[in-house]
Chains A and B, each alone.
Chain A
């Protein structure tokens, strides 16, 4: 471990004084270079999954025996195409959540399930709530809820989605155990037709290209979530919520080990794992607990947990959230920063009973999207800073810095219309409006607030270094005063990113812990980034 990392570990302890036993490894992971998320998966019309055991890792150092779905090469193509297919994609090892299956509305597809679980685990199957079967499953054996894959006979499900949207798939056999063990995943159904109209972008939204940055690629799977222009979006993220009771996993492993080699179906070749009382102590988003969820997709240190939760966006972008409740508990997922406009549930767009042009969305605006097992929802999040009553970019006319003098040219709605400007989508009514009466850096004069002496407060690891958005404004605000960008802001560099960080987390607050350690669990930091900062979701 380098001296720099050691120093950082010390400062993390200072920032989280109640952190009970964070290791230096955990602190180092928090330092990982910006890794963004998207909603990667495999796209095609024919998928073959194999349920099989392996171990997943948790940030407290635990390796937990689990069951997940594996795919092998030839299972569709990696999507979105702008994320290079990693070598670990469909390499035959199981993953939690299972591979995200990306299909198109109205296009029939098949999912073949092989049973690679230990013989004592018995059969397994997959439920596809909300999808239509085009014909009865083939192969396998009759089960209670659906046709099941036996140790020797795979089952193939023949399916079609009649509407776009996000949905869950999960085991339909002894679900209290098999879903707990990790047999769940997501299906993203893309609309049949690309949408056009206001707010619908055919490519990536224009991005102000700061020195050293290149234009941003388009990481969307489609231009809209549904067959409706009001569901168009600029970025998308998929979050699957689940929890884990380690006792169940340990008991399952003990019984599987004790009965290894037994013949499937033979007397005694079964598991009797109690799934009640239920005391989960791991609370995961996309199979990972914080801070692991903020590491890259397909990160090599999590070979069985490929998907992350690390959303980034620029002001004004329409960001599609695909949220699924897996597991067995509800989790109130609180999005800091703004409300989420719910578009639809389980692939059903919520529309007003009376249409008024395009103004026909009827889904609620939620600041807490409460996840429910078996329920998927799609919603749009957007952050603009409208109504703060101060200039979030810290503009100040008269300075020599041209970026402090940028104009704000309002469109009909009052947002800066200059698509290629750094402050595109700035809320123009607050342009140049100061926040502080006494000087804070050189952004001075007339504002209502006086900020405290920097010696009186503690900086957060994701603090951008000033109240303002972006490295230019932050350096302008802090540099000349001699205070310099503050220390300890290791995860959101004041001179590099300086985004506005918002915590997205379960508001059953005890679930933002990892096996009794805070912070952890169902928690991630969402970054609204200045357009000086290039968001690259491909890493």
Chain B
């Protein structure tokens, strides 16, 4: 059904766009820009929240009124790997591994990095070894500045990009260069012109990345200012004139370290991701292939589970979008959604890839963490209401201008019905506006289950059955008790004989007596529901499915319980308060008058058959809470 409108547009378009061949010269690559429309400068900064990015109803092309959040980047491998089960069994997985933030991941932290860290190279002459950082040793990998190495694996200086010049001319002091191919410049790039034998030669800052010209498409031309070139004649079809960009970090990678580190390097859970509200997140998935299954040519994807108003393109469902092939990279892009505990997983053949281990953690920290201690949280949340993207209004909520109806049936963070005097400066699970979700320490905990028979068949070339899938390892952060309380990363020897950090995340919970711990609990079991109970410390549930438990009239709907039950595909936020009596009753930010007794407490499953590690009638879905 090509209408005549479409047809005429095609003709116009084909004239306009000669440069389509520019797309993607490289299969593996990463993306971590240092400047975007939303974050024009200071991409690392996470400035205090003083007002919305856009206050009105319109946005682009206006410059943001306030720059909020930062740019965050991460790279992961999609492939295979091995993990160690609670009974010592080496288990084969389809899995994601870290390709950025290696040191952070091994330390149990998210592998999400700001551009200045992500875009870091290893020192000259230092190379990653297969299995790193387990091979070289945790803490031994340092960048050129002597800091723990957390850069993007494979990142390399791009070769100097050089094009031949078709035409160079000057008008006033504005020099226009028309090249024979796009140089790919942006404003501010330093371009070296040489081979003209005239004052045109030199290095100049680009002032316009495209320029209309009589010869070629506008993006083959650029301009810069050079007073010294004034009055020079036009040079056309020179055989020697070139324009070049210096070698630079632009996402170009060397595939060798990516394959050295990424192959058979899977983690369970997959590399953790954590971003802040208002961040722009660039997640590069690099598909290194599953070396133990050469019969498969599987794609992998990342599904950001629970993202509100997701785009189909970046939703990670291969049927509804595109999926990256082996030997190539795909960068997912999202503006961070509302704060909450999300999670992520591959969406290729989900019953297989999820059971085989392609599941990971992902959470978004609230703006409220960036509210200074001099500001009341209630006032800060009222300020947020002027940002229509996150506003959650109701009549008489105190924000100006007042509204007569609620704007959004699906908005998540209304102003609390009961105002408090709580001020900022703490860490919070949500933009609660009343300080009720304050915590001192946070622990992401992911529930999963492995069926050893399925994993065994998954390592062979036989088709697996789905309906008789039966989990026999019950995992908290990829480990069963007693491994759950083992400090540091667990390592497993892979089929090539090297050790890899397979399960970087312990799930032992350490709380100083009187403090509050936030448990970000997600469940990605693919076969059955799981219950997690707390012995001795009440569980206060403040969030569910990445949303604050609050009704549209602003009443908190938190509840306190001794156990929570989740299906695969659900998440929930629990606060463990180890204070028996607060100095101000009902104020979680007030000092603790009477802390709970120190000692070991337990999180365990009352699904008693899940307290086992395959044949061992001991272990399973259990961990310890240490009140110190």
Contact = CB atoms under 8 A, between A and B. Distances in A.
Given A211-B3, A429-B59, A518 B466 contact: yes
Contact of B349 (A18, A392, A461, A476): A18
Contact of A480 (B16, B549, B557): B16
A390 B162 CA distance: 31
Given A448-B280, A518-B351, A362 B552 contact: yes
A259 to B, nearest CB: 30
A457 B325 contact: yes
Contacts of A471: 1
A528 to B, nearest CB: 8
Interface stretch (B19-27, B138-146, B241-249, B618-626): B19-27
A207 to B, nearest CB: 18
Contacts of A475: 6, 9-10
B333 A401 contact: no
A448 to B, nearest CB: 4
B344 to A, nearest CB: 13
Interface residues of A, number: 128
B570 A370 contact: yes
Interface stretch (A118-126, A149-157, A265-273, A407-415): A407-415
Given A430-B59, A458-B299, A475-B6, A382 B552 contact: no
The prevalent SS among residues of A at the interface is loop
B544 interface: yes
Given A453-B24, A456-B27, A458-B322, A433 B60 contact: yes
B406 interface: yes
Interface in B379-433: 388-391, 393-397, 403-410, 412, 414, 417
Interface stretch (A133-141, A165-173, A351-359): A351-359
B567 A357 contact: no
B323 interface: yes
A456 B325 contact: yes
B23 A453 contact: yes
A360 B555 CA distance: 10
Given A400-B12, A460-B317, A509 B354 contact: yes
Contacts of B330: 452, 456-457
B494 interface: no
Contact of A450 (B31, B395, B403): B31
Contacts of B355: 509-510
A17 interface: yes
B280 A389 contact: yes
Interface in B531-553: 544-547, 549, 551-553
Contacts of B544: 364, 366
Interface string B140-154: 000000000000000
Contact of B406 (A17, A358, A508): A358
Interface string B245-275: 0000001000000000000000000000000
Contact of B309 (A338, A357, A400): A338
B54 A429 contact: yes
A429 B306 contact: no
The prevalent SS among residues of B at the interface is loop
B33 interface: yes
B372 interface: no
Give the most central of B282, B315, B388, B417: most A CB within 10 Å: B388
A516 B466 contact: yes
A459 B321 CA distance: 6
Interface in A482-533: 482-483, 492, 495-496, 499-503, 505, 507-513, 515-516, 518-519, 525, 528
Contact of B410 (A341, A456, A509): A341
Contacts of B567: 330, 332, 368, 370, 507-508
B459 to A, nearest CB: 15
B209 to A, nearest CB: 9
Contact of B313 (A357, A438, A441, A467): A467
A196 B322 CA distance: 42
A380 interface: yes
A365 B412 contact: yes
Nearest to B11: A480
Given A441-B17, A452-B328, A352 B555 contact: yes
B406 to A, nearest CB: 4
A356 B309 contact: no
A293 interface: no
Nearest to B12: A400
B352 A479 contact: no
B405 A502 contact: no
A54 to B, nearest CB: 24
Interface string B282-313: 10000000000000111100010110111111
Contact of A447 (B3, B37, B568): B37
B574 to A, nearest CB: 16
B16 A442 contact: yes
A482 B31 contact: no
A116 interface: no
Interface stretch (B438-446, B475-483, B505-513, B522-530): B522-530
Given A330-B567, A438-B22, A453-B24, 13 more contacts: A20-B463, A332-B569, A339-B410, A352-B552, A360-B551, A365-B410, A414-B57, A432-B60, A441-B17, A453-B27, A458-B324, A501-B317, A507-B526
Interface of B: 1-3, 5-6, 8-10, 12-14, 16-17, 19-20, 22-25, 27, 31, 33, 36-38, 54, 57-61, 184, 186, 219, 251, 280, 282, 296-299, 303, 305-306, 308-315, 317-325, 327-331, 333-335, 337, 347, 349-352, 354-355, 388-391, 393-397, 403-410, 412, 414, 417, 463, 465-469, 525-529, 544-547, 549, 551-555, 557, 567-570
12 contacts: A15-B318, A280-B467, A334-B569, A358-B406, A380-B409, A387-B335, A414-B57, A432-B61, A459-B322, A472-B6, A480-B10, A516-B465
